Structure 1
Amino acid sequence: MSRVVAAIELYLDVDATRRIKTLWRSLEAEGVPTMAGLLGNRHRPHVSLAAAHRLDPRAVEAALDGLRVGAGLTLSMDFSGQFVGRVLWLGITPTEELLAHHRTVHERLAAAGVEVWDHYRPGRWVPHCTISMRVPNTQMSHAVRRCIEVLPLHATVTGAAVADHANDIHHPLP
């Protein structure tokens, strides 16, 4: 990945994490690079609520003070999708609870002056768990089929952090 990305990441329960890591390993064995191999294996399965080139972990924490980010959310991954640029992901069914939590996070970030990318803002965000940032075009249909094989996948959010893997930042959020 050529650009630096910082994100507010939601982490998944042990079973969902294990299933996604198994998918990553399966795809890697078949020559499809996944999140597992990016930036020295620092990634773990997650859902990003917000992203930007940089996020100041302390500013994010202050903006979200008193909010237990992601606490109690249950996520249902029921489909697979692609973004332009060969990005493959598992899609999360957007529930009222998830969208309301996402909106609250963004309202607090905006009030504190924390800038995020437009495509992560409420009304534009596509809830997803990234599987690969660079699927070879010739392997996309095979990789999508592999993703569908693990669905449906249900997950409980177990934690959150501000993460910037390229700069070795991992700041857990309360």
Structure 2
Amino acid sequence: MAQALEFLFDGEADAAVRGLWRELERAGVPSLDTRTHRRHRPHVSFAVAGGIPARTREALADDLRLLSIPSLWLSTLSAFPGPDSVLMLAAVADTELLAVHSAVHDVLAKRVKSPSAYYLPGSWVPHCTLAQGIEPEQVVAGFAALYPVTPIRARVSEVAVVDTHTGEAETLLRLTVPPPRN
């Protein structure tokens, strides 16, 4: 079991990602996590660890309330290769996003069990997973179905700690997201 710190999207971005999932399904690419067979909410994970204790969650919530959480621009269709291939939309890693990520890890440092090296500063690739645990031919089919992708502006509406196996979530922070400008 692992726990992830997830930044969840506003309704418009959530709907846009779910639309991409439907396109993948029509192309024969499962958008469910093929290991757990559950659908997650569209998000970007900022940290993953074996456990994030209650006191650390409180400290995270306190710190996050003081930060300006930037919008995420999901614009690059890409993949992580390997036995657990991931098709994803990578986020633009601008200075504001990296500053929030760094602040999160300042709080987590030496306070979590078994932190995942993939999410540490310097290693992290901010992204929204579109399909996970897929075969190489499904990666190709996913690219064919979605390319070129229209960039998605994802405003963060909630920050939660999520059990990566069960999907159970504890909300740390809810943000008021203003309606989009026309």
TM-score scaled by length of structure 2: 0.82
* Distance apart, 1:153 and its partner CA: 1.3
Superposed CA deviations along residues 46-83 of structure 1, whole A, max 9, x for unmatched, are: 00000123333x13312314222685311111211111
**For residue 35 of structure 1, what is the amino acid of its counterpart?**
L
- State how many pairs are aligned: 169
Secondary structure of 1:100's partner? Answer: helix
After superposition, the CA RMSD in angstroms is: 2.2
Secondary structure of 1:51's partner? Answer: strand
Partner of 1:152: 151
- Distance in 2 between the 1:46 and 1:33 partners? 17
Assess if the C-alpha contact under 8 Å between 1:73 and 1:157 holds in 2.
yes
Partner of 2:73: 76
For residue 59 of structure 2, the aligned residue among 57, 63, 81 is 63
In the TM superposition, 1:73-112 aligns within 5 A as 73-85=70-82, 86-111=85-110
For residue 112 of structure 2, the aligned residue among 101, 114, 134 is 114
Assess if the C-alpha contact under 8 Å between 1:32 and 1:136 holds in 2.
no
Partner of 1:126: 125
Secondary structure of 2:144's partner? Answer: helix
Q: Bigger CA drift: 74-83 or 37-46?
A: 37-46
**For residue 107 of structure 1, what is the amino acid of its counterpart?**
D
TM-score scaled by length of structure 1: 0.85
Specify every segment of 5 or more residues in structure 2 that has no aligned partner in the other structure, as ranges.
174-182
1:165 to 1:122, Cα distance in 2 relative to 1, 3 A: closer
Identity of aligned residues (%): 34
- Distance in 1 between the 2:51 and 2:132 partners? 19
